[in-house]
Amino acid sequence: MGDEDWEAEIIKPHMSSYVPVFEKDRYSSGANGDTFNRTPASSSEMDDGPRRDHFMRSGFASGRSLGNRDAVESNKRETPSTVGGFGVGKGFGNRGFLNNKLEEGDSSGFWRESNDSEDNPTRDRGFSRRGGYQDGNDSEASGSSRRGGRGSFRGCRGGFGLGSPNNEFEQHEGTQRAGGPFGSKRPTLSGAGNGDTYQSRSGSGSGRGGYKGLNEEVITGSGKNSWKSEAEGESGDTQGPKVTYIPPPPPEDEDSIFAHYQTGINFDKYDTILVEVSGHDAPPAILTFEEANLCQTLNNNIAKAGYTKLTPVQKYSIPIILAGRDLMACAQTGSGKTAAFLLPILAHMMRDGITASRFKELQEPECIIVAPTRELINQIYLEARKFSFGTCVRAVVIYGGTQLGHSIRQIVQGCNVLCATPGRLMDIIGKEKIGLKQVKYLVLDEADRMLDMGFGPEMKKLISCPGMPSKEQRQTLMFSATFPEEIQRLAGEFLKSNYLFVAVGQVGGACRDVQQTILQVGQYSKREKLVEILRNIGDERTMVFVETKKKADFIATFLCQEKISTTSIHGDREQREREQALGDFRCGKCPVLVATSVAARGLDIENVQHVINFDLPSAIDEYVHRIGRTGRCGNTGRAVSFFDPESDSHIAQPLVKVLSDAQQDVPAWLEEIAFSTYVPGFSGSTRGNVFASVDTRKGKSTLNTAGFSSSQTPNPVDDESWD
């Protein structure tokens, strides 16, 4: 969908004029005021201080650039009606809009946000961080960094709105947008069609390039090939908002640590899925946990976690990792890849002995696990903590958006397994809190994402950091549900040449426990259709994916107006808000989560029964990951996708392939579109071969179903279906 079209939709006169506000009581429990519950409000309610505070934090309030005290003051002077609701002339989220020219309102809900998806850091590069408003811990940020910091915008046009257009913008961060060492692909933000003007202001950041990593890290560079991270800004090396958020510690009681959801009715059908192992001398698969010969503590933890039976990726990967081999493993979403690498690593660490955790200024972890998003790495950490419970292995998690000092404090207390997002990891290494000499295991979860243009350069830096053992000296493990061929080739640089490749089912294929439906919906009908579907769904947990951060805010707001309790997660929200949103969704307080691709990969949330692609993603692998948030671990789920022929034709062909591979109905109209946009030689992706059916090395391969050794290989055709 073009941005012009989207804006046109927003200002369409049929827009509801219902103005929701937050209900104080329903907010008080959350640190962030993150849910979007609302009641019809009187203006005096909206003037209420604390309530307003919540409202501001929620990101749906007035379009103040919350990084600028003057702006906040100016908002205080607003009339109640201006302050209230979803804002006359207000900006969304935490983008740091200043509304000094917009008190009277602004018609457009969104300003142009092309390429603002979290999904592609290359697209986000050069565009800086959200505005400076911080609260709680964050409010200690220095005034200068907040005022002059990244991401302050002046003259935002409004939120969800009312009023007349106001089209003048000044961007404080023009230099970053103008392209840093990574180069910005963001188009010039001149608002075609509406006369918006964006003025780039070269401020203190002049000369610096910017990089807003996919979902999380903000990295700025001061030269062509140099970069500094967000966290360095905290120490004064670079200017930027001081991040002081300290995430709450996870619960320590055993029940919480081992809390899990039930496997679903299709769990046993995993056994019939085809597994392909390629590479030489692969150890045979194991059929049971007992065969893995793990130590008693690990076995106890596995039992407490409710695991009684191995999933296919676990049957193959565990013996391979225990044999010390490098591995690239591709298995469908929700099929237990995390335990597939954690269990054998922990078993090795127990067997070989590790340095017991103790306070040291420089910690030397034996294992480093990286993942592309903060929420995902936190989830992996919780799994590591669960499986290492009662052992002397200490797992630590560090990620962007949190106070650097907090990360350091976690590490210096002892660190055997370090779970990290790339930017924060490189910061900590730069600060010499982590030494790499002892690294025996390097795990890239969502490896195709970690190696693509966004994170690939950082991963290369990581493996060439001083002290990092060469690939011959360490064990490197890569896991994902998708593995485009070109990424497989890049991975060779990280892996020993004799690495093994495990493909469970179709590489890049969708989980067959997800019932996929594609609806042809034009952009102007999408919201209506969404509401209709959500009303039918009732209270069942649903993730709604949209393509841009701004649209995530907009749709969440819209759903709240429709009295559907909704929260949102995207890369422009403060970390505390992201965590609050996820928490509210997990516990069911907000059964609808509107998300960008920041939540597409890896997140394992109980009871997500529906995924709705309000916007289809531009790449098919993203689609596979998104719909994989439901139908996990043998449970069934549903995915509905809105296909707008105007904007989604490019994905028709790979979509037809995904649907038919997963034995789903393919609508005739979609086939027609796919046919009319036929690309000779297509193999499944708009950007390459997502559907590599084999290891790209084309090495010797064996076709198995999980649980059979090579000699017992059944006819692959017989076992092709696993549902």
The Cα–Cα gap between 2 and 9 comes to 11
Residue 210's DSSP bridge partners are: 220
Report, in Å, the least distance between residue 270 CB and ligand ATP.
Answer: 9
Alpha helices in 569-723 (DSSP H): 575-586, 620-627, 645-648, 652-661, 668-676
Cβ nearer to ligand ATP, comparing 27 with 307:
307
Shortest separation between residue 340's beta carbon and ligand ATP, angstroms: 7
Burial class (CB in 10 A: 0-12, 13-18, 19+), 682: middle
Kindly tell me which of 119 and 604 has the beta carbon lying closer to ligand ATP. 604
Q: Report the distance separating Cα 279 and Cα 255, nearest Å.
A: 41
Q: Where are the alpha helices (DSSP H) in 323-364?
A: 337-352
Nearer to ligand ATP (CB atom), residue 56 or residue 639 = 639
Q: How far is the CB of 608 from ligand ATP (least distance, A)?
A: 11
Closer to ligand ATP by CB, 197 or 288: give it. 288
Q: Partners of 523 in the beta sheet? A: none
CB 178 within 8 A of CB 200: yes
Q: Which is nearer to ligand ATP, 59 or 631 (CB)?
A: 631
Give the residue from 133, 132, 339, 324 showing the smallest Cα distance to 239: 132
Considering the complex, state which of residue 35 and residue 338 has its C-beta at the smaller distance from ligand ATP. Answer: 338
Which C-beta is closer to ligand ATP: that of 222 or that of 299?
Answer: 299
245 or 501: CB nearest ligand ATP: 501
State the minimum distance, in angstroms, from the CB of residue 673 to ligand ATP. Answer: 28
Residues in contact with ligand ATP by the rule CB under 6 A: 260, 263, 306-307, 309-311, 314, 331, 333-339, 481, 602, 604, 628, 632-633
Q: Coil, helix or strand for 144? A: helix
Q: Which is nearer to ligand ATP, 481 or 564 (CB)?
A: 481
- 361 Cβ partners below 8 Å, 6+ apart? 412, 433
Tell me the closest approach of the beta carbon of residue 544 to ligand ATP, in angstroms. Answer: 18
Distance CA 159, CA 63 (A): 7
CA dihedral 577, 579, 580, 581 (to 10 degrees): 80
Q: CB of 7: closest distance to ligand ATP in angstroms? A: 34
Q: How far is the CB of 190 from ligand ATP (least distance, A)?
A: 39
Question: What is the smallest separation between the CB atom of 452 and ligand ATP, expressed in angstroms?
Answer: 16
Work out how close the CB of 89 gets to ligand ATP at its nearest, in angstroms, rounded to a whole number: 40
Judged by beta carbon, residue 376 or residue 408, the one nearer ligand ATP is 376
Among 677, 604, 601, which Cα is nearest to 643's?
677
* CB-based contact 109:160 (threshold 8 Å): yes
> The tokens 């991401």 sit on which residue?
151
Whether residue 217 contacts residue 373, with contact meaning beta carbons closer than 8 Å, is answered with no
Query: Minimal distance in Å, beta carbon 344 to ligand ATP?
Result: 13
Q: Which is nearer to ligand ATP, 19 or 624 (CB)?
A: 624
For residue 306, the minimal CB distance to ligand ATP (Å) is: 6
Distances (CA, A) of 366 to 49, 385, 439, 498, 537: 50, 15, 4, 22, 46
Q: How far is CA 247 from CA 93, 402, 434, in A?
A: 20, 7, 21
- Supply the minimum distance, in Å, between the C-beta of residue 359 and ligand ATP: 32
Which is nearer to ligand ATP, 311 or 488 (by Cβ)?
311
Residue 382: C-alpha distances to residues 44, 249, 342, 386, 400 (Å): 44, 11, 11, 6, 17
Cβ atoms 310, 357 nearer than 8 A: no
For residues 81 and 657, give the distance between their C-alpha atoms in angstroms, rounded to a whole number: 51
Dist. CA 125–CA 604, nearest whole Å: 28
In angstroms, give the least distance from the CB of 315 to ligand ATP.
9
Least distance (Å) between residue 632 CB and ligand ATP = 5
Considering only CA atoms, which of 335, 69, 700, 38 is closest in space to residue 61? Answer: 38
Give the span between the Cα atoms of 716 and 117, in whole angstroms: 40
Distance separating alpha carbons of residues 463 and 472, to the nearest angstrom: 12
Nearer to ligand ATP, 115 or 597 (CB): 597
Question: Nearer Cβ to ligand ATP, position 459 or 481?
Answer: 481
Which residue of the chain is nearest ligand ATP when measured via CB? 336
Q: Whole-angstrom Cα distance, residue 228 to residue 218?
A: 9
Phi and psi torsions of 436, nearest 5°: -105, 0
Q: Tell me the C-alpha distance between 661 and 274, whole Å.
A: 13
Q: Which residues contact 551 (CB under 8 A, 6 or more apart)?
A: 6, 110, 113, 614, 615
Q: Which is nearer to ligand ATP, 210 or 631 (CB)?
A: 631
Is 311 or 421 the residue whose CB approaches ligand ATP more closely? Answer: 311
Structure tokens that stand for 547 in this block: 């393509």
Q: Please state the φ and ψ torsions of residue 606, each to the nearest 5 degrees.
A: -60, 140
Q: How far is the CB of 609 from ligand ATP (least distance, A)?
A: 15
Measured from the CB atom, the residue of 468 and 633 that comes closer to ligand ATP is 633
In whole angstroms, the minimum distance from the beta carbon of 603 to ligand ATP comes to 7
Which H or E run includes 223? strand 218-223
Measured from the CB of residue 601, what is the shortest distance to ligand ATP in angstroms? Answer: 6
